[in-house]
Structure 1
Amino acid sequence: MLSTPTQISGRIAASVEFRAGDGPLLTIPEGHCQVIVEGDSAVLTWTEEGQPLTTAIPKIEFDRFIASGAIILGTS
């Protein structure tokens, strides 16, 4: 049986960077986000300048952001 991914409210509290394809590192601005963790990746969704944006990051990087306090889960 496949598990259903859970969407969690969170907050970006410090620098969270990701790479879009082969491009430069981009920074998610501090503030509210939504997180879906499934398998070996986490999908983060946030709003920047009124536009919804989404990225997937490896679970190991996501865990590092959680451990450092850059991403705080369970906030609205």
Structure 2
Amino acid sequence: MSSDPTQISARIAAPVEFRAGDGPLLTIPEGHCKVIVEGDSAVLTWTEADQPMSAAIPKIEFDRFIASGAIILGTS
């Protein structure tokens, strides 16, 4: 039996950076996003310039962003 991951509404309140592959650090803009936490990673999705964007970050980094207040869960 498998369960679908839960999508959580969140808000980026301070700089949240991630690295896409071996590329440079990119910043998720402040504002509304959705989060799915599954296993050892969190996937954040948002819209930027009317384009859907997403980033997968390690769960340990996601937890650090929550602890610092950069990501606030349960907001729309």
Same fold judged by TM-score > 0.5?
yes
Question: Which residue in the other structure is 1:21 paired with?
Answer: 21
What is the aligned residue count?
76
RMSD between superposed Cα atoms in Å: 0.7
Question: Which residue in the other structure is 2:59 paired with?
Answer: 59
* Runs of at least 5 residues in structure 1 that lack an aligned partner in the other structure: none
1:32 aligns with 2:32: yes
Task: Give, as a single letter, the amino acid of the residue that structure 1 aligns with 2:36.
Answer: I
Write the distance in 2 (CA, Å) between the matches of 1:57 and 1:45: 11
1:4 deviates by: 2.0
Name the % identity: 87
Deviations along 1:13-39, whole A, 9 cap, x unmatched? 001000000000000000000000000
Write the distance in 2 (CA, Å) between the matches of 1:54 and 1:40: 16
1:2 deviates by: 2.6
Write the distance in 2 (CA, Å) between the matches of 1:5 and 1:29: 24
Q: Find the residue that maps to 1:36 and give its secondary structure.
A: strand
TM-score, reference length from structure 1: 0.96
